[in-house]
Amino acid sequence: MFIDIPSELEAALIDLPLPPWELDGSSSARSTMEEYRTELRATPRFEDTAASLRHTLTRAGGGYAVLRLGNLAKALGTGDRFLRLATAFAAEVAIPFSPFPRWPLWKDIGVKVDKAPGKSSGIGYNAFHMDLVNATLPPDYTTLLCVRPDPLGGGLSLLSDAHAAVARLSGNSRALLAETAYHYGTFFDLYGVGEEYKPFPILDGSAADEGFVRFTAKMLERSDLGRAHADAAQDLAAELIQGQVSLMLQPGDYLIVNQRRFLHGREALRSGQEAVPVADRRLLLQLFLRAPADVSSAA
């Protein structure tokens, strides 16, 4: 699932000055994506790399990829020029967009020791979930670009094949998960993701590997669920953990997750975060992607 950038492509990208992106509402403007695509497809081996990325994200048994942009990050830093390249790669998968008015495209996920530990910016275990689980149109892809890993060595990224986990459940559990009985979280100050979905089914009835598995383990603690539905969700949580894979993102690693296939989470950061200067703490940048309206995932 790791995709290296060929050396000749890296050399060409370092010297490629892409223009700033423009937005059309909350999404990257078509003109920006077309300009990026034109520039990048003129570089050696870009099309092969982009095709490998798309295939890894959508093939049978696939659903996540780590694009290794570390050498580009070293050469360019992690400022605007580097982010334009990362955005251009993302645009080869689907349409970059931001559901948060506060963040024009990329959202910072740093470390705040006073946050609830299980939050994305907290220091504790962040259990398996899909992003914007309670939206009628959640992002098709969630992506995380590593600027700095935890300097103390914690914070492994966790991934699990949601449909494979569902397939291991009993028929009774699957039937309960398909009922419109689940709810989680709040819904405000968002755009581009439809309306609030409450209550919702965890399984939407789509064929295997196609539909969202609308799950967040946080609903087990923060939602008032009936016993049978809670037990079925707990069974799914256990199967997700049983099938999980973990990886440590390095500077410049770009993790892209197909939310119709995989759920994600994070191990706890190592203790002692209070003593780490804010400027040295783990930092990820998040970007969401929307597949074209006529397909469930990029081809």
Q: Where are the alpha helices (DSSP H) in the chain?
A: 7-14, 30-41, 46-58, 70-76, 80-91, 162-167, 171-177, 219-222, 227-242
* Domains, in order of start, for the chain: 2-290 (3.60.130.10)
State which amino acid sits at residue 63.
G
Q: Which residues of 174-187 are buried (b: 16+ CB within 10 A; e: fewer)?
A: bebbebebbbbeeb
Asked whether 298 and 54 are in contact (CB, 8 A), the reply is: yes
pLDDT at 51: 97
Cα–Cα–Cα angle for 18, 19, 24, rounded to 5 degrees: 125
pLDDT tens digit at each of 299 positions of the chain: 999 999 999 999 999 999 999 999 889 999 999 999 999 999 999 999 999 999 999 998 899 999 999 999 999 999 999 999 999 999 999 999 999 988 889 999 999 999 999 999 999 999 999 999 999 999 999 999 999 999 999 999 999 999 999 999 999 999 999 999 999 988 999 999 999 999 999 998 776 667 899 999 999 987 889 999 999 999 999 999 999 999 999 999 999 999 999 999 999 999 999 999 999 999 999 999 999 865 444 43
Using CA of residue 45, residue 46, residue 47, residue 53, what is the dihedral sign?
positive
The pLDDT of residue 208 is: 62
Please state, in angstroms and as integers, the Cα–Cα distance from residue 250 to each residue in 150, 216, 234, following that order: 9, 26, 32
**What distance separates the 2 farthest-apart alpha carbons in the chain?**
59
- pLDDT at position 222: 79
Using CA atoms, how far apart are residues 275 and 253, in angstroms rounded to an integer? 25
SS3 at position 88: helix
